[in-house]
Amino acid sequence: MTTDARQKTRTPAIILDEVRKVYGTGVAETSVVAVDGVSLRIDAGEFVVISGRSGSGKTTLLNLMAGMAAPTSGAVALDGQDLWSLTDAGRARLRNERVGFVFQFPSLMPSLTALENVMLPVAFGSRRPDAGFAERATELLRTVGIEAKASAYPRQLSAGQQQRVVLARSLINSPRIILADEPTSNLDERTEAEMMELFRGIHHATGVTIVMVTHVSALRSNGTRSMEMADGRLQVDERVGAPGA
Amino acid sequence: MTLIQFALRDISRNEFRSWTVSLAAFMVAGLVLATTLLMQGTGDSLRLTLGRLGADILVVPQGSEERVETALLMGSPTDAWMAETTVDAVRAVPGVAAASPQMYLASLDGASCCSVSSMFIVAFDPATDFTVQPWLEEELGGPLALGEAVGGAFVSEPEEGLRIYGYPLALAANLEPTGGNLDQSMFLTFETAREVARVSVTEAVAPLEVPDGAVSSVLVRIAEGADANTVAGAILAGVPGVGVVMSPEMFESFRQQITTVRDGIALVVGLTVLLSLLLIGIVFSMATHERRREIGVWRALGATQRHVVGSLVAQAVVLAAAGGAAGALFSALGVYLFHDYIVERIGVPFLFPSTPRLALYVLVGLLAAVLVATAGALLPAIRVTRQDPASAMRE
Ligand SMILES: Nc1ncnc2c1ncn2[C@@H]1O[C@H](COP(=O)(O)OP(=O)(O)OP(=O)(O)O)[C@@H](O)[C@H]1O
Ligand SMILES: [Mg+2]
């Protein structure tokens, strides 16, 4: 199967069409063009790693993909849905059901245990949280290798352990897409490698679409496709030697 | 775990917020409850006392109107006398259907039954009475015998027997409480009163003086269809040396007293509510501002604006309910324990409500506290959800 043929049969997970994001509208000198006319199609099942320097617009790009910020112009579709034709609640629901987030900063709720943190997104969903979710959460903690810390509070966990919990949390609602914003920026190299292995393992096991942004270009080899971002534009876009292909 | 449970778990994280919100709620609930208790209680007390008096017009010695009113409401003894002939003169006035005299007496200091220093005693005339008698018929099935008395709610017979001026009285029944010293007053017949006076000469330290041929007041019931104002005017014109108080105007000065107290309290309550709103608003603004990033995370995980506002308000409600419950409890206990002191200070008796009514008022106080907290938390909560989640997450 050629690359072109694959793109036709696969469903798009994320489509950006001429998306621009300008902060600080009004005075031209103070406004920042964080994302500058990006068009992009990411198919279901891809593992895209976008690298770029600090300030190149990576976080903004991820936020635009998830409908967390409105584009100044252009259109965003997530899992086939035009995000900005939805209501705010509709976008929230879409994020809840189909998107998992891993953030650049510590994002666990300090008053909840690891297990409860993993289950938090369930509370925002339309389904009633039941015992099944607790089991699933425990299983996810096992997947990321810290089920022993299920009842620990975030302050009792190392940065690496916290990010593992965050990764488990991103998976609780069986999302179609995981958006990871520099998930290893606070971690040492070994922990970073372990996290990357987890991402690859999850991608391999579930086929979930992953978009990861990072300022470490070396991490690009982890994905199936890599891009480079600079000054709000995507510059390089290439397939990474597909494992097993 | 549901969202509410998550939100509640998070409450204790910000101690400063917890304390200020609960404290504000404590004040609001406490003050609102105290105000309700006082206003309802004084109103109830006035209505009850007025109903018990059961007369359309009260005829008293000229110039003693207010003193007699005070005596009848507060149960504080008074001296007011006028000639017994007044009774017949009043009865002869057109429009008067019934007229019955009463005598107001005072016990010696330190009566054996009660905590009041000097007990208010009402003597009535069974032959003409139309206010006490019907009640006696209902309660006792007959009139009071010589030596029998009806006591206020808190009059009880001590072990060594009830004695006034050395005369032993039998307590035949107790009246409902009215919330003032009247609950420690006593009703007996003219005949018994004269007997007490007679015996007191030899048995008491100081004798009870019941002036011969004198009464303290005449209770008047007007004829059906007669106009109270006209009848009162006719009494004033036809009977020399008397003053009249009409039922609707009875206790008017007390009502004014209540109004003054109420206006004062209303101001305090209003200010407290306003300050609480402001305080809770500011504290919640600060708290939600501090948590903008976390709220951004919530939004990323799929929380709607409603989820965020809901859980912030839920936290406010829980804090307010806790603080408000404590405030209501404190307030109810305070009003209950300092009842007599409050009556003395505001000069109007008030009734502490029955338990179901109290529960209702407590609920009113709690509701006030919760509403104030909700209003205070709502604005900052809505404001933080107005910005897009991405900017909320950026610090
Ligand atoms: N809410 C905002 N208001 C104003 N400017 C913003 C806002 N968010 C981002 N920017 C600006 O947009 C540009 C891109 O920011 P962004 O956070 O997307 O970069 P990034 O690649 O994620 O950087 P980093 O690696 O430091 O996280 C930066 O110049 C930043 O200052
Ligand atoms: Mg970033």
Sort out which chain A residues have CB atoms less than 8 A from B2's CB and list them. 123, 129
| Interface contacts (A, B; CB < 8 Å) | 85
Residues with CB under 6 A from ligand 1: A 23-24, 32, 34, 52, 54-60, 104, 215; B 391, 394
Q: Which of B207, B240, B273 is the last residue of a domain?
A: B240
- What 3-state DSSP class applies to B125? coil
For residues B21-58, one letter each, b for 16 or more C-beta atoms within 10 angstroms of the residue's C-beta and e for the rest, the string is: bbbbbbbbbbbbbbbbbbbbbbbbbbebbbeebebbbb
Q: Please answer whether residues A89 and B304 qualify as being in contact, where contact means their C-beta atoms are separated by less than 8 angstroms.
A: yes
Q: What is the mean pLDDT of residues A217-245?
A: 85
The tally of domains found in chain A comes to 1
> Measured between alpha carbons, how far is residue B353 from residues B178, B350, B364 in Å?
11, 9, 14
> Is residue B377, in this structure, part of any structural domain at all?
yes
Cα distance between residue B12 and residue B314, in whole Å: 13
Q: How far apart are CA B175 and CA B156, in angstroms?
A: 11
Same-domain pairing of B155 and B264: no
| Same domain? B80 vs B220 | yes
The CA distance from A108 to the nearest CA of chain B, in Å, is 8
Same domain, yes or no: B334 and B384: yes
Q: Are residues B228 and B102 in the same domain?
A: yes
- Residue pLDDT, tens place only, A158-184: 999 999 999 999 999 999 999 999 999
- Does B292 lie in the same domain as B213? no
pLDDT value of position A171: 96
Please tell me the distance from the alpha carbon of residue A237 to that of residue A234, in angstroms, as a whole number: 7
Domain count, chain B: 2
Residue B58 counted as domain residue = no
Tens of pLDDT, residue by residue, chain B (395 residues): 688 888 888 888 888 999 999 999 999 999 999 999 999 999 888 888 888 888 899 999 999 988 888 888 888 888 889 999 999 999 999 999 999 999 998 877 655 555 556 788 899 998 899 988 888 888 888 888 899 999 888 888 888 788 888 888 899 888 888 887 788 888 999 999 999 888 888 887 778 888 888 999 999 999 999 999 999 999 999 999 999 998 888 888 888 888 888 899 889 999 999 999 999 999 999 999 988 999 999 999 999 999 999 999 999 999 999 999 999 999 999 999 999 898 888 888 888 999 999 999 999 999 999 999 999 999 999 998 888 899 888 86
From B240, B265, B298, give the residue that closes a domain.
Answer: B240
Q: Are residues B125 and B91 in the same domain?
A: yes
* Sign of the dihedral through C-alpha A202, A205, A207, A208: negative
Cα–chain center distance at B376: 32
pLDDT per residue as tens digits for the range A85-127 = 999 999 999 999 999 999 989 999 999 999 999 999 999 998 7
- Which residue is closest in CA terms to ligand 1's atom 29? A55
Asked if residue B246 belongs to a domain, the reply is no
B387 lies within 8 A of chain A by CB: no
- Contact between A51 and A222 under an 8 Å Cβ cutoff? The reply is no
β-pairing, A32-43 vs A12-23, is: antiparallel
Q: How far apart are CA B81 and CA B52, in angstroms?
A: 22
Q: What is the pLDDT of residue B114?
A: 57
Same domain (yes/no): B234, B329? no
Lowest mean pLDDT among A8-12, A49-53, B47-51, B70-74: A8-12
B10 touches chain A (CB under 8 A): yes
Domain containing residue A132 = 44-63+83-239
CA of residue A54 to ligand 2 center, whole Å:
7
What does the pLDDT read at residue A224? 95
How many Å apart are CA B40 and CA B44, to the nearest integer? Answer: 6
Residue A227 has pLDDT above 90, yes or no: yes
Could you list the residue range(s) of the whole structural domain that residue B228 is in?
Answer: 63-240
Is residue A76 a part of any domain in this protein?
no
Residue B196 lies in a domain: yes
Report ipTM for this prediction. 0.92
Establish if A8 belongs to a structural domain: no
Residue A58 covered by a domain: yes
The runs of H, that is alpha helices, within B64-151 are 65-74, 85-91, 133-140
The domain boundary, picked from B211, B240, B269, lies at B240
CA B281 to chain centre: 34
As a whole number of angstroms, the distance between CA A157 and CA A115 comes to 13
Across chain A, what does the average pLDDT equal? 91
DSSP B82: E
Whose tokens are 């008030």? That residue is B350
User: Which residues 267-306 in chain B show a CB within 8 A of chain A?
Assistant: 293-294, 296-306
Of A99, A124, A173, the CB nearest to B303: A124
What is the residue-wise DSSP string for B192-237?
Answer: HHHHHHHHHHHHSSS-----TTEESEEEEEEPTT--HHHHHHHHHH
pTM of the predicted model, to two decimals? 0.82
d(CA B180, CA B42): 10
Nearest Cα neighbor of A208 from A98, A123, A128 is A98
**What residues of B are in contact with residue A69 (Cβ under 8 Å)?**
388-391
Q: What is the DSSP letter of B91?
A: H
d(CA A216, CA A62): 17
Angle at B99 between CA B95 and CA B100, to 5 degrees: 170
B23 and B69 within one domain: no
Is residue B163 included in any domain, yes or no? yes
| ∠ Cα A65 A96 A53 (to 5°) | 35
Shared domain for B195 and B142, answered yes or no, is yes
Residue at A151 is within a domain:
yes
Are both B198 and B266 inside the same structural domain?
Answer: no
Q: Select from B277, B258, B105 the least CA-distant residue to B193.
A: B105
| CA B91 to the chain's CA centroid | 35
Strands B148-151 and B96-109: unpaired
User: Which residue of B10, B12, B302 is in closest CB contact with A92?
Assistant: B302
- In angstroms, the CA B248 to CA B358 distance is 28
Rounded percentage of chain A residues whose pLDDT exceeds 90:
81
Contact A223, A48 (CB under 8 A): yes
CA dist B221 and B228 (Å) reads 9
Name the pairing type of β-strands A81-82 and A73-78: antiparallel
CB-based contacts of B318, cutoff 8 Å, min separation 6: B8, B11
Question: To 5 degrees, how large is the angle CA B316–CA B321–CA B325?
Answer: 150
Domain contains B188 = yes
pLDDT category at A2 given cuts 50, 70, 90 is: very low
Tokens coding A52? 């770029």
For residue B284, being part of any structural domain is answered with: yes
At B71-127, the pLDDT tens digits run: 888 888 888 899 999 999 999 999 999 999 999 988 776 555 555 567 888 999 988
Atom of ligand 1 minimally distant from the CA of A56: 21
CATH of the domain at A182: 3.40.50.300
Task: State residue B344's pLDDT score.
Answer: 85
Does residue B250 sit within a domain?
no
